[in-house]
């Protein structure tokens, strides 16, 4: 009997818990927490504990599939590669490179994301490469980069428990980032004040010193209100503002209008509570802002993020331990997928594609004969729109499932069906893969080497524990083989380690990251520019990455679609503890599925009574985009006239309903607010 | 102490007394459970932090009941094995024990009055007269209403990870009552109070060996060992039963059940 443990990083949220996989005779048996891992400290959430389940799911793809006469048939890798290469070439030849788009994956490794954007830019020669960060933290990347010069979590996960005050907004931390949630409990036990600002009552509500429930989509208003009170009461950090920032006067002028009375009118937050919360936040020695999708998934997502940055700077809560602006990244490697340039506007390390020096740098490094286009490529939702219009002819998707994750699924389906050619690389025939012309079987985190970057810029190893299932292949290998089949050079990598070495040579923030150092140190937090650098625990010490921190004076703007007579409810969407994103992995775990087998719509008891809806009864929820039938969960978690639907479930998909209206800068859709109506159907 | 353990492991493997030794070793600067075999380099052996090695022994035993295993064993691990054996989860005759004694600091951290296994060839110093004091003095002074409030507040932090059960050396039921919808609603966070936690606590009465794995695996920092310890005290007081006694069977069960 052969027994070994393999230390690897969890494939679910962005916490970055490392744990052991217990392997007996080549089979991954169980997850065992690792007591000396600095993030998890030997503790895990229910998803982490059950992370092996989906890997052995009976419906794992074991060979490539080719669609013929509307049906899939098994194919060899050789045949699949041949077909894809010739189609890609044909489409590029006929319609140009920009008629192709690629979706990379926040579930896959850094090396694979690097390769996917390299494939887009050097093989196809287009900047049309994006991934689901567009749907979660695109506004963070844009907003924090504009304010501070770096679009990432400013501080680190372990610092949370040392903060004197934690302001949590739009993050259901104990469900979505359980191991960061547990540090909030620790902080509370250490005496920290907890301010929660969230329309819904969540587990943290009971632990918060103050829970302010704003109307969905009114975040700029309450943040401006906070700043109004802070300035008014002389609680601003004048020295920090003078020495570390710019453009304060403009913000000061703007927030004059955001009196607590006016903010109450807009947000519904009682003015006394607003004042109390502002004093609590500004009065702490170290105050940390934690936020997530509740801030970012709005047509004002970038404004919301900039407002959070304003709040931290006005009180000098930046560049010090246990302070800062801390977006919690939802996916295990969404931070890394952004860092490695799986975005249409930047190369790895956020080097802008519009900058000719960077284009030249990468053309040279990749030995390209063609020129990389100087335009910013298409984003996720724009790709769907262009496909719908017939301008985009082909999409190559790795490990994403837009048929569940993107807003307005009816539109997405029409768009994908309108393509000349769709390639999907995944573990399963997902809702998206079902529409593909060719499906390629990739591998799970257990079957390959690589690195993931956790939410606090923490790069950690993913280690192969078992052999690939069936004839599936690691995604990095697939991209390399496909590139070589298309006659491209620069994809002769023998291992992810070699890919990381190329990444380090071209990506200054990852410059000092090597597998040997990761084995020795366990992790490295970027920026880590060279092999002697110990990594960076918190950003913007002494000076922001861009120089002075920039205050943006932002006015409150209402969401794109508000309730009206026809659609009187506000619909907001999100995740729950027991499932992850499009359910591709968690819904294949018996334990997780038993906890929550299907979706539901949370509705306030008073609203339910008025509509004659009983708990558990199936109801019809409709918006201007579509209609779903879904069981009602009558609960005080949601305020009056607001309903909440988790988006994991294809049989009652929240994104049939959501509004694809975009933030003008980040192009993130407004998942968090749209207008809906609820009707009984007598079931 | 490590060298002595290395010597013992080498002897057992070289002589063919056992085929495999379950222990701990250093990999990448961290301690992990491992299995040593004949000829393996033993320099990486570690003795702490504690991991639930009895569970691994049980798993391997179930895969191959004839497999001859030795296991690195603290007092709590031995108690776990003995209780497993009483429930037909493992055959002690197929198992050799490399007993190590815990030091005073570890024993006090775990509030453990028997920080050593019963084997004769124990490695390390046996701490028999350890003064633990009453760690629950403050708790015991609370009124029943205060105690309820205390636990309510603690359990409101529960993340329903099932980690306390998953890591528990004594939790090996195929169907776990924590997942039985007869008792509680699924998918709720925090789980129903107090039924979720009471089910677990009562199922550990006369079973908990005091290894502390549940508390150390709890993301919410719930003081689970307090409950377990109080139950252990009750078992002693009410039934004169001490978990891990070699012969006796838990009086809360009948023999026929096994």
Q: Is there a contact between A45 and B63 if contact means CB atoms under 8 Å apart?
A: no
The answer for residues whose C-beta is within 8 angstroms of residue A374's C-beta and 6 or more apart is: A353, A354, A356, A359
Q: Average of pLDDT values for A106-134?
A: 97
**A contacts of B219 (beta carbons < 8 Å):** 43-45, 178-179, 181-182
Q: CA separation (Å) from A78 to A82, A85, A87, A474?
A: 6, 11, 14, 16
Contact of B100 with B124, CB cutoff 8 Å:
yes
Please, what sign has the CA dihedral across residues B154, B156, B157, B159? Answer: positive
Q: Hey, is A76 helix, strand or coil?
A: coil
Using the Cβ of B44 and the Cβ atoms of chain A, whether some distance falls under 8 Å is answered with no
**Residue A97: strand, helix, or coil:** helix
* Residues linked to residue A488 through DSSP beta bridges, in sequence order: none
Q: Does B233 touch chain A (CB under 8 A)?
A: no
Rounded to the nearest integer, the mean pLDDT of chain A is: 97
> What confidence score (pLDDT) does residue B140 get?
87
Per-residue pLDDT of chain B (258 residues; tens, 9 = 90+): 999 999 999 999 999 999 999 999 999 999 999 999 999 999 999 999 999 999 999 999 999 999 999 999 999 999 999 999 988 899 999 899 999 999 999 998 888 889 999 988 999 999 887 777 776 888 889 999 999 999 999 999 999 999 999 999 999 998 999 998 888 889 999 999 889 999 999 899 989 999 999 999 999 999 999 999 889 888 889 988 888 876 777 777 755 544
Q: What is the largest CA-CA distance in chain A?
A: 72
Write the pLDDT tens digit of every residue in A578-611: 999 999 999 999 999 999 999 999 999 999 999 9
CA A100 to chain centre: 24
Whether B32 contacts chain A with CB within 8 A = yes
What digits encode the pLDDT tens for the residues A503-514? 999 999 999 999
Q: Which residues of A touch B31 (CB under 8 A)?
A: 35-36
Distance from C-alpha of A514 to C-alpha of A493, rounded to nearest angstrom: 16
Would you give the DSSP letter of residue B256?
Answer: G
Q: How confident is the model at residue A445 (pLDDT cuts 50, 70, 90)?
A: very high
Angle formed by the axes of helices A260-267 and A219-232, nearest 10°: 170
CA–CA gap between residue A514 and residue A240 (Å, rounded) = 36
CB B77 within 8 A of CB B243: no
Please name the member of B27, B33, B163 whose beta carbon is closest to the beta carbon of A49: B163
- The Cα–Cα gap between B74 and A399 comes to 45
Query: Residue B258: what pLDDT?
Result: 46
Chain A CB within 8 Å of residue B202 CB: no
Tell me the DSSP string of A530-570: STT----SSS-SSSBTTBSEEP--------SS---SSS-EE
Nearest to B31, CA basis, from A20, A169, A647 = A20
- Packing angle, helices A496-506 and A356-365, rounded to 10: 150
- Spatial separation of the C-alpha atoms in residues A283 and B233, rounded to whole Å: 47
| Both tokens assigned to A463 | 């280690």
Sign of CA dihedral A524, A527, A531, A537: negative
Give the model confidence (pLDDT) of A307-362 as tens digits.
Answer: 999 999 999 999 999 999 999 999 999 999 999 999 999 999 999 999 999 999 99
**Looking at beta carbons, which residues of chain A come within 8 Å of B167?**
33
- CB neighbourhood size of A221 (10 A): 25
Burial of A518 (0-12, 13-18, 19+ CB in 10 A): middle
- Write out the two tokens for A111: 């090396």
Kindly give the interhelix angle for B195-203 and B224-239, rounded to the nearest 10 degrees.
50
Does B124 reach chain A within 8 Å, measured CB to CB? no
CA atoms within 13 A on the CB side of A265: 6
HSE-CB for B239 with a 13 A CA cutoff: 16
**Higher per-residue confidence, B198 vs A246:** A246
The residues, any chain, with a CB within 8 Å of residue A182's CB and separated by 6 or more, are A43, A174, B157, B159, B219, B220, B221
User: For position A683, what pLDDT does the model report?
Assistant: 60
Bridge partner residues of B22 (DSSP):
B35, B71
Closest to B155 (Cα-Cα) out of A187, A594, A203, A198? A203
pLDDT in tens, A286-311: 999 999 999 999 999 999 999 999 99
Q: How many CB pairs under 8 A join A and B?
A: 115
Percentage, residues of chain A above pLDDT 90: 100
Residue numbers in A near B30 (CB within 8 A):
7, 34, 36-37, 522
Q: A43 and B157: CB-CB below 8 Å?
A: no
Using alpha carbons only, what angle is made at residue A673 by residues A670 and A679, rounded to the nearest 5 degrees?
130
Distance (Å, rounded) from C-alpha A430 to C-alpha A439? 10
Q: Best interface-test mutation with B: which of A172, A174, A599 has the largest number of B CBs within 10 A?
A: A174
Of the pLDDT bands very low, low, confident and very high (cuts 50, 70, 90), residue A423 is very high
Q: What is the DSSP letter of A302?
A: H
Task: Read off the DSSP letter of residue A215.
Answer: P
What is the per-residue pLDDT across A217-237, written as a single tens digit (0 to 9) for each? 999 999 999 999 999 999 999
Catalogue all structural domains in chain A, each as residue range(s) with its CATH number.
65-135+332-451+468-513 (3.40.50.740), 138-328 (3.40.228.10), 569-680 (2.40.40.20)
Beta strands in A85-200 (DSSP E): 100-103, 129-130, 165-169, 193-197
Are A238 and A542 in contact, with CB atoms under 8 Å apart?
no
| SS3 label, residue B19 | coil
Beta pairing class for A458-462 and A450-453: antiparallel
Q: Do B161 and A7 lie within an 8 Å CB cutoff? A: no
Do residues A475 and A425 make contact, with C-beta atoms less than 8 angstroms apart? yes
Q: What's the pLDDT score for residue B130?
A: 78
Nearest-CA distance from B166 to chain A in Å? 8
Cβ-contact A221, A192 below 8 angstroms? no
CB proximity B20 to A under 8 Å: yes
Chain A residue with the nearest C-alpha to that of B217 = A43
Question: What percent of chain A stands above pLDDT 70?
Answer: 100
What secondary structure letter does DSSP report for A341? T
Interchain proximity B219–A595, CB inside 8 Å: no
- Contact (CB<8Å) B159/A519: no
Contacts of A46 in chain B (CB under 8 A): 159-162
Which two structure tokens, joined as six digits, stand for A607?
A: 């609203």
Q: Between the CA of residue A361 and those of A115, A342, A365, A593, what are the distances in Å?
A: 16, 17, 6, 48
Can you tell me the mean pLDDT for A672-680? 97
The confidence band for A53, taking pLDDT boundaries of 50, 70 and 90, is very high
C-alpha to C-alpha distance for B139 and A149, rounded to whole angstroms: 51
Question: Considering only CB atoms, which residues of chain A are within 8 Å of chain B?
Answer: 1-5, 7, 20, 22, 24, 29, 32-37, 42-46, 48-49, 174-175, 178-179, 181-182, 185-186, 189, 203, 206-207, 519-520, 522, 576-578, 591, 594-596
pLDDT in tens, A269-291: 999 999 999 999 999 999 999 99
Mutate to test the interface with B, among A17, A595, A634 (most CBs of B within 10 A): A595
Query: Contact B161/A178, CB-based, under 8 Å?
Result: yes
Chain centroid, CA B81 distance in Å? 9
Taking contacts as CB-CB distances below 8 angstroms, the residues of chain A near B218 are 43
């Amino acid at each position: 009997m052969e027994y070994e443990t393999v230390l690897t990083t969890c494939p679910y949220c962005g916490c970055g818990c490392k744990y052991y996989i217990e392997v007996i005779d080549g089979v991954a048996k169980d997850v065992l927490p690792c007591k000396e891992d600095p993030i998890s400290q030997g503790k895990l959430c229910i998803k982490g504990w059950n992370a092996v389940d989906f890997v052995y799911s009976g419906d794992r793809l074991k060979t490539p599939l080719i669609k013929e006469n509307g049906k899939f048939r098994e194919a060899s890798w050789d045949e699949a590669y041949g077909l894809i290469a010739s189609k890609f070439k044909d489409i590029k030849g006929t319609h140009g490179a920009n008629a192709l788009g690629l979706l990379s994956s926040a579930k896959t490794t850094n090396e694979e994301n690097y390769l996917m954007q390299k494939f887009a830019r050097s093989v196809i020669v287009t900047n049309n490469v994006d991934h689901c960060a567009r749907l979660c933290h695109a506004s963070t990347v844009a907003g924090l980069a504009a304010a501070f010069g770096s679009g990432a979590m400013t501080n680190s996960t372990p610092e949370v428990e040392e903060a004197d005050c934690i302001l949590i907004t739009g993050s259901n931390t104990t469900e979505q980032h359980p191991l960061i949630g547990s540090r909030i409990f620790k902080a509370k036990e250490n005496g920290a004040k907890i301010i929660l600002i969230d329309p819904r009552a969540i587990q943290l509500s009971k632990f918060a010193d103050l829970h302010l429930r704003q109307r969905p989509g009114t975040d700029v208003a309450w943040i401006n209100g906070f700043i109004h009170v802070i300035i008014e009461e002389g609680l601003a950090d004048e020295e920090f503002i003078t020495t570390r920032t710019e453009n304060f006067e403009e913000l000061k002028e703007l927030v004059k209008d955001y009196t607590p009375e006016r903010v109450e009118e807009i947000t519904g937050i009682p003015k006394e509570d607003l004042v109390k919360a502002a004093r609590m936040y500004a009065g702490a020695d170290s105050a940390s802002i934690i936020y997530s999708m509740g801030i970012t998934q709005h047509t004002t997502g970038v404004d919301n993020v900039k407002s959070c940055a304003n709040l931290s700077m006005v009180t000098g809560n930046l560049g010090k331990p246990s302070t800062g602006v801390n977006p919690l990244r939802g996916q295990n490697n969404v931070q890394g997928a952004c860092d490695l340039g799986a975005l249409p506007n930047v190369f790895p390390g956020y080097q802008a594609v519009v900058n000719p020096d960077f284009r030249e740098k990468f053309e040279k490094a990749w030995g390209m004969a063609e020129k990389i286009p100087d335009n910013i490529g298409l984003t996720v939702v724009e790709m769907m729109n262009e496909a719908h219009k017939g301008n985009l002819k082909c999409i190559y998707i790795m490990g994403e499932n837009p048929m569940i994750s993107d807003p307005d699924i009816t539109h997405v389906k029409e768009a994908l069906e309108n393509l000349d050619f769709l390639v999907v690389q995944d573990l399963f025939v997902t809702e998206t893969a079902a529409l593909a012309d060719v499906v390629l079987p990739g591998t799970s985190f257990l079957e390959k080497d690589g690195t993931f970057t956790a939410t606090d810029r923490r790069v950690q190893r993913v280690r192969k524990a078992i052999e690939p299932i069936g004839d599936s292949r690691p995604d990095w290998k697939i991209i390399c083989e496909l590139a070589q089949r298309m006659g491209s050079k620069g994809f002769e990598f023998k291992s992810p380690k070699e890919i990381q070495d190329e990444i380090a040579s071209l990506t200054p923030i990852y410059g000092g990251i090597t597998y040997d150092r990761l084995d020795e140190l366990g992790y490295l937090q970027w920026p880590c520019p060279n092999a002697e650098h110990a990594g960076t625990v918190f950003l913007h010490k002494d000076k922001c990455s861009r120089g002075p921190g920039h205050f943006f004076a932002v006015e409150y703007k209402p969401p794109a679609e508000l309730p009206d007579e026809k659609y009187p409810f506000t619909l907001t969407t999100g995740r729950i503890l027991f499932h992850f994103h499009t359910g591709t992995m968690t819904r294949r775990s018996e334990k997780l599925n038993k906890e929550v087998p299907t979706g539901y719509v949370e509705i306030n008891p008073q609203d339910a009574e008025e509509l004659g809806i009983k708990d558990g009864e199936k109801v019809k929820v409709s918006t201007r985009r579509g209609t779903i039938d879904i069981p009602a969960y009558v609960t005080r978690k949601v305020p009056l006239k607001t309903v909440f639907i988790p988006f994991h479930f294809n049989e009652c998909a929240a994104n049939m309903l959501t509004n694809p209206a975009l933030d003008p800068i980040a192009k993130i859709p407004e998942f968090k607010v749209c207008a809906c109506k609820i009707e009984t159907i007598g079931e | 102490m490590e060298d002595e353990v290395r010597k013992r492991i080498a002897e057992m493997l070289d002589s063919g007394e056992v085929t495999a030794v379950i222990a701990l070793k250093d990999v990448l600067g961290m301690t992990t459970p491992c299995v040593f075999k004949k000829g393996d380099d033993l320099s990486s052996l570690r003795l702490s932090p504690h991991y639930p090695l009895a569970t691994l022994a049980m798993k391997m035993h179930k895969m191959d009941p004839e497999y001859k295993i030795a296991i690195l064993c603290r007092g709590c691990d031995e108690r776990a094995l003995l209780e497993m054996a009483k429930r037909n989860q493992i055959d002690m005759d197929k198992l050799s024990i490399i007993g190590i004694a815990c030091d005073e600091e570890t024993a006090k951290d775990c509030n453990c009055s028997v920080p050593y296994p019963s084997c004769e060839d124990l490695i390390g110093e046996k701490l028999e007269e350890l003064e633990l004091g009453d760690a629950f003095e403050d708790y015991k002074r609370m009124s029943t209403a205060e105690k309820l409030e205390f636990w309510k507040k603690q359990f409101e932090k529960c993340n329903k990870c099932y980690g306390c059960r998953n890591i528990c050396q004594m939790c090996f039921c195929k169907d776990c009552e924590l997942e039985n919808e007869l008792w509680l609603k699924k998918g709720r966070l925090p789980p129903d109070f107090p039924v979720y936690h009471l089910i677990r606590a009562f199922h550990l009465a006369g079973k908990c060996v005091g290894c502390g794995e549940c508390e150390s695996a709890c993301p919410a920092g719930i003081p689970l060992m307090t409950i377990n310890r109080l139950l252990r005290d009750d078992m002693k007081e009410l039934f004169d039963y001490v978990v891990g006694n070699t012969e006796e069977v838990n009086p809360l069960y009948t023999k026929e059940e096994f």
